[in-house]
Amino acid sequence: MKVNDIILESWPGRNKNKIYKLLVDATDSGPFDGGCVIFAQALQMKYGGDIFVLVNHKEQADHAAVKIGNVLIDADGPAEINEFVKRFERNERVGIKSIRPIQTIDLSDAPRNRELAKKIAHLL
């Protein structure tokens, strides 16, 4: 069974609204407007992989997601890297130049909260 198949079995799951509410109540942001790092942390706790960022043409990190093999995953679900980037560009109306592992300085305005990520991971 491929990574996509494992995740898609339950994606986004019956707890989608609970997950969004937890994130918004705690951070005043959703998984695409500031809460992407916490959501990526939760995904990593649940499925493994590494947290990567999408880098825009200004060489700035624009969004965090989990990378497992050739698949990226965020709140919109899993997709092969090229399809994921196209989907993100289309949905967010931004240009993405590359992806790379997250660095400490990336997305500095995005909250980090391991305890909240654990709660979200449990609901995924």
Domains of the chain by residue range? 3-123
Query: What is the rounded average pLDDT of the residues 54-80?
Result: 95
Q: Crossing angle, helix 114-123 and helix 16-27, to 10 degrees? A: 170
pLDDT at 16: 76
pLDDT at 33: 86
pLDDT at 18: 86
Query: What is the rounded average pLDDT of the residues 65-79?
Result: 94
pTM: 0.88
Q: Which two structure tokens, joined as six digits, stand for 89?
A: 């560009």
pLDDT digits (tens, 9 = 90+) for 18-38: 888 898 999 999 888 899 999
Kind of pairing between the strands at 96-101 and 50-56: antiparallel
pLDDT digits (tens, 9 = 90+) for 83-101: 999 999 999 999 999 999 9
The percent of residues above 70 in pLDDT, for the chain, comes to: 89
Nearest 5°: the CA angle 12, 41, 85 is 65
